[in-house]
Structure 1
Amino acid sequence: MPFAAHLRVAFRRHWPYYLAEAAGLACFVLCAGLLTVLLEHPASPLAPWLPAQPVARRALMGLGMALVIMGIVYSPWGKRSGAHINPAVTLAFWQLGKLRTSDAVWYVLAQLTGAIGAAQLLRGTMGHWYAHPAVNFTVTEPGPQGPLVAFWAEFGISFLLMVVLLVALHSRRLKRWTGVVMGLLLAVYIVVEAPYSGMSLNPARSLGTALAAGSYQGLWLYWVAPPLAMWLATVLFRYLYHGEDLECAVLAGCGPSPASPHTMGEEPPHYPTQHPE
């Protein structure tokens, strides 16, 4: 069957999953933009009560975004699609064989659509609030240390995130807490790493905000460092676990159980060998 036909079949079967991925990343970008306006814009209604120290405001941002990512991961739609909301995460699971190639293509396209659409919505509705230099369209750009430092900062946080994610999903005790662990790690990254690279981890998120801002400084590194780092994390995972497999590519954890949104006989896109196309 030609690959275009595989794409058509996959879309007919799994379009709700792709819609969930687009909506999940759109929600993430929207929440990041709104929180940044509230915490950083000098005319924000919260400005009189916010701490003057940037690190304290980043801590508030980190807490807010941790709750957002947990909400996405454990939402019914997030549990069904896997809540990757990141092309680098999707490519890592594809590399591990937990996602068909056709599904991976649609996932990435959906994530790009969600990120670009949300950033354009913020630009169109919030105007000068979103464009203010203190907010700057929430673009991710290299910090004063330069693009080389930003590259390795993105590489390091992406590698650690994927290693932690895979180890947690491999553990029967921890897999249900993967979303919580990811949220807490994201909060730490926002506080500690954001000054070096803007703390992206996500090529689609960076592209969406760059298009809204019309600014592409260092955009290449956000498309190279996270996917490369997460791919290497999958290589390390296979080496340490001697080829042992994951049950699925769902960040909330999975497996047949009363709490799982999937039952035996279903065809979620993260079981690539269950129903060959």
Structure 2
Amino acid sequence: MRTAADALQTAPLPGRPGRALLAALRSHWRHYVAEAAGLAFFIACASVFTVLLEHPASPVHQALAGHEVGRRAVLGVGMGFVIVAIVYSPWGKQSGAHINPAVTLAFWCLGKLRGADALWYGVAQVLGGLAGAGWCKQVLGRYYAHTSVHHITTRPGPDGAGVAFGAELLISFVSMAVLLGALHHARLEKVAGWLIGGLIALYILVETPYSGMSLNPARSLASAVAAQDFRALWVYLVAPPLGMGLAAVLCRGWRRGRAGGAEPPHYPAPG
């Protein structure tokens, strides 16, 4: 099976870094646009859902007042379906639907992406996140800025930044381990997007009180910029890439061990 990510890995690029970056941009710009659009869409959906569920003036919030866990469950299901929609959309299939620099880093560690493509993916994801948060700031205005929504920033819970860091590290590691396990299983590969969507829903329900549930440095950065609130942002810039990168490295080592030291011929990617 040949995926969009396979094409990124095997396309010939010039040797010099500057030329490689320009060549990658000319050849694969559609992939980068898809990544930017995917994260912008994700942030827009998360923002609208959060305003509906958390703003005191929202009829949805009023109907679920006093049911914080219920509101998180609704948000989790909604965002789980958003992830599934992005992964299986034509644009998601085109780029592999990373929409997350931590995911891109993990696939680069696996040799799935060339350095130039990984860099452009990261740039596109950050720009897409900023654009999505900026759009929400303009359209949702005071509802988006209300303290109950606070531009959907991710912030540590009452237990502090240390617990938030550990929680983000754990859910990031588990997410990448599940994804790689599914992508290397013939029956699970086709439903990998559904598995990740299900994990997102579970994390929002269970893990949110500890870290706000990010998994995504670009998503947290975009919200922090919109809110101009950078407190504990380091947690979300460091923990997800570390967790997902660690899962990728361990997966690669495990598969090499099973293959007697040889590199597996193919690492499938989302899409």
The alignment's TM-score, normalised by the length of structure 2, stands at: 0.90
- Is the CA contact (8 Å cut-off) linking 1:169 and 1:246 kept in structure 2? no
Partner Cα separation in structure 1 for residue 240 and residue 266 of structure 2: 21
Unmatched 5+ stretches in structure 2: 1-14, 257-262
- More helix per residue: 1 or 2? 2
Give the corresponding residue for 1:43: 57
Corresponding residue SS for 1:129: helix
Give the corresponding residue for 2:264: 244
Query: Which residue of the other structure, out of 192, 201, 208, is the alignment partner of 2:222?
Result: 208
Unmatched 5+ stretches in structure 1: 253-277
Query: Which residue of the other structure, out of 160, 168, 180, is the alignment partner of 1:154?
Result: 168
Query: Which residue of the other structure, out of 84, 87, 93, is the alignment partner of 1:73?
Result: 87
Q: How does 1:1-277 map to 2 (within 5 A)?
A: 1-50=15-64, 52-242=66-256, 243-249=263-269, 251-252=270-271
Partner Cα separation in structure 1 for residue 52 and residue 171 of structure 2: 26
Letter aligned with residue 99 of structure 1 = L
Corresponding residue SS for 2:74: helix
Shift of residue 246 of structure 1? 4.0
Corresponding residue SS for 2:123: helix
Give the corresponding residue for 2:9: none
Partner Cα separation in structure 2 for residue 154 and residue 245 of structure 1: 31
- How many pairs were matched up? 251
- Is the CA contact (8 Å cut-off) linking 2:184 and 2:268 kept in structure 1? no
* Cα distance, 1:57–1:245 mapped onto 2, change above 3 Å: farther
Q: Which moved more, 1:230-239 or 1:29-38?
A: 230-239
Partner Cα separation in structure 2 for residue 213 and residue 54 of structure 1: 23
Letter aligned with residue 49 of structure 1 = A
Pairwise CA RMSD: 1.1
Letter aligned with residue 230 of structure 1 = M
Corresponding residue SS for 1:217: coil
Shift of residue 236 of structure 1? 1.6
Partner Cα separation in structure 2 for residue 205 and residue 224 of structure 1: 13
Letter aligned with residue 168 of structure 1 = A
The alignment's TM-score, normalised by the length of structure 1, stands at: 0.88
* Cα distance, 1:39–1:246 mapped onto 2, change above 3 Å: farther
Partner Cα separation in structure 2 for residue 215 and residue 196 of structure 1: 18
Partner Cα separation in structure 2 for residue 47 and residue 235 of structure 1: 43
Partner Cα separation in structure 1 for residue 65 and residue 251 of structure 2: 41
